[in-house]
Structure 1
Amino acid sequence: MLHGIIDIGSSTVRMAVYDIRGGDIEMLLKKKHVVGLAAYVKDGVMTQAGIDKAVEILKEFTGFLQCFHITRVAAFTTAALRNAKNSREAVAEIERRTGLAIRVITGDEEATFDFIGATHAFGHEDGLLVDIGGGSTELVAFAGGKILQKVSLPLGATDFHARFSDDVLPTLAECRRMEEEAGRILADIDRYVTDAKKTAPESTVSFNTLHADALAGIGGTFKSGLALYNAVYDMPAENLTIDARALPELIRRFTSDRDLPQDDVILLMRAVPDRLPTILPGLTIAHVVCRHFGATRITYSDSGVREGYIYSEIIGE
């Protein structure tokens, strides 16, 4: 059976078509628009321009699906619309103008879907999963194939670029301010866990005392960060691991107040053409997360929230 899955994120709006047969899924194609919906939020309110942009893209996607008579369509949205003060009104208008039913998933649900999707791909029994999105960052600590603790933090690459940077690429000083803000939030991480209601109240796991040598990274920030890392350090395309200790130098190399050599400009544009404004904010958040948990490496997986949604909500695992 063909299913269309639409993910309205804070950085990108994506549509993927899957062939779902029993418990097996195959992604046949995907389309995306790098929109940066989080940047359309002003004073906590999703602007009309942001709503109109979302509608424009969703109409394109639904038109494509209708052309191929794909009627099984699930759409969900994450931090940009979830956290807006006018979330309910904005989503209702988008639904009315597109004909889509849009589910606003909570940060807790997003972390769970991330975990389900990634662990199907990784097969790891223990670890710490991280998804740095445009408007939020989800962390999931797990062991024995089960979630020990999860949290959604107000750390996002698109949001950070909108708040701290005045140009396409941030300056080193702007990256430092992002680093300070991310460090402040991570230092108070257990408060966000409490607010999100602990997955296992009897668990003694605390993110503030958790140590992880390696992180499992999913989502666009880690995908683009890996592409840039592989290009800079001349790694093979099949490499899926980032040495976290290289992140500070990688960030400094591409800040806007450095006189970038043309070779570096070419390298950056080839590696992450769609994520130029958000790559350094995303890597800055990744660096702070790695530092907080003592991680020295990050392994990337291409499966995440969409696949987790399918396994949980469509297949019913």
Structure 2
Amino acid sequence: MHAIIDIGSNTIRLVIYKINDDNYNILLNKKEMAGLASYVDGNMMSLSGINKACAILIELKKIAQDLGIADIYPFATAALRNVTNSAAAVREIEERTSLKIHVISGQTEAKLDFIGAAKTVNLASGLLIDIGGASTELVSYENMIIQSAISLPIGSLSAYKKYVQHFFPNKNEQKKIANAVLHLLNKEDTASFNDSYTDICGVGGTIRSSQKLYNNTFNLSSQNQCIQTKYISNIIKKYLSDKKKNAISRTTLDTLLDVVPERIRTILPGMIILKTLIKQYNAQNIFVSNAGVREGYLTKFILNKLDDIEV
């Protein structure tokens, strides 16, 4: 058995895998909402954020050890890699938890997303998108070979913190988030990206939560994993009002609380990022994968497979 702890910008998650030949089974999947991206002040991880991370990591470590798992593999993404005090914050967390944390780069995160997710959906070629709490990863691939992998330093929680003044983004704030995404995208080398992708492989909590809202809106089974992108704008509009109004109706608020309660603050900023990328690449469908960076990390760094993909 192998225990992986994914230290993300929104959540910290412990997943325990049992390996059977070339397959794996998930024996335990425990998520804690940490919101580490909201503890970044002046581009530095605050002491409160470090304390929050330590408390959760110690709890998750104990769970793994109680199950007899000695080897625990924690890795961190944007919340800890993008701050200016990354090295000091990670060192303190390591000293207090006795865990060795692997901070992965944005490009590595994107490639691990592909390794973990792309083979779980029936898309041999396309664009993979992972919208996290403080970063967004994009991978262009053809015939299951990565063409380009980039990471944008904006995610659902960081966008909420930087651009949303009240609880829900108004129209002006939506435009600011969309413009920020396009500005960051224009700074990247996207020469290997196509102008359009009919289908997208969707990864991560924001897209999975968007799937839940989509299925709820159209009374679809929770097993449905395809989102038709033409409906994304209308779903967002359902939860927003005119440019001066920051509140939504009680009915729509209740829906968010019922369907995505843990992402009540971040789901709309995240969906605005998604909408912007859908429009940019003329996508028609999103096929949502339940696998992603953790499964990629398991495959690449723990099971030491896929030597042909450098991360």
Alignment TM class, shorter chain as reference: over 0.9
Matched, 1:134 2:130: no
Question: How do residues 203-218 of structure 1 correspond to structure 2 at under 5 angstroms?
Answer: 205-207=191-193, 209-218=194-203
Separation in structure 2 between the aligned mates of residue 96 and residue 35 of structure 1, nearest angstrom: 19
**Structure 2: runs of 5 or more not aligned:** 306-311
Contact 1:172 1:252 in 2 (8 A): no
Matched, 1:266 2:251: no
Matched, 1:223 2:198: no
- What secondary structure is seen at the aligned counterpart in 1 of 2:210? helix
Separation in structure 1 between the aligned mates of residue 167 and residue 24 of structure 2, nearest angstrom: 37
Separation in structure 2 between the aligned mates of residue 233 and residue 263 of structure 1, nearest angstrom: 16
Give the % identical residues. Answer: 37
> Once structures 1 and 2 are overlaid, which stretch shifts more, 7-16 or 257-266?
257-266
Deviation at 1:43, TM superposition (A): 1.0
Q: 1:308 aligns with which of 283, 296, 299?
A: 296
Partner amino acid, structure 1, of 2:286: I
Q: 2:276 aligns with which of 279, 284, 288?
A: 288
Instruction: Give CA deviations for 1:34-70 in whole Å, capped at 9, x if unaligned.
Output: 2211111111100000000000100110111121111
State the match for 2:165 in structure 1: 166
- What secondary structure is seen at the aligned counterpart in 2 of 1:31? strand
The alignment covers a number of residue pairs equal to 302
Separation in structure 2 between the aligned mates of residue 188 and residue 153 of structure 1, nearest angstrom: 9
Question: How do residues 174-193 of structure 1 correspond to structure 2 at under 5 angstroms?
Answer: 174-190=173-189
Question: How do residues 13-52 of structure 1 correspond to structure 2 at under 5 angstroms?
Answer: 13-52=12-51
Partner amino acid, structure 2, of 1:275: R
**CA RMSD, Structure 1 to Structure 2 (Å):** 1.5
Instruction: Give CA deviations for 1:215-240 in whole Å, capped at 9, x if unaligned.
Output: 11011011101001111222222211
Change (3 A) 1:259 1:135: closer
Deviation at 1:123, TM superposition (A): 4.7
**Structure 1: runs of 5 or more not aligned:** 194-204
Deviation at 1:177, TM superposition (A): 1.4
Instruction: Give CA deviations for 1:195-246 in whole Å, capped at 9, x if unaligned.
Output: xxxxxxxxxx533x53101111011011101001111222222211112122
Separation in structure 2 between the aligned mates of residue 27 and residue 17 of structure 1, nearest angstrom: 6
Partner amino acid, structure 1, of 2:192: S
Partner amino acid, structure 1, of 2:58: K
Contact 2:164 2:173 in 1 (8 A): yes
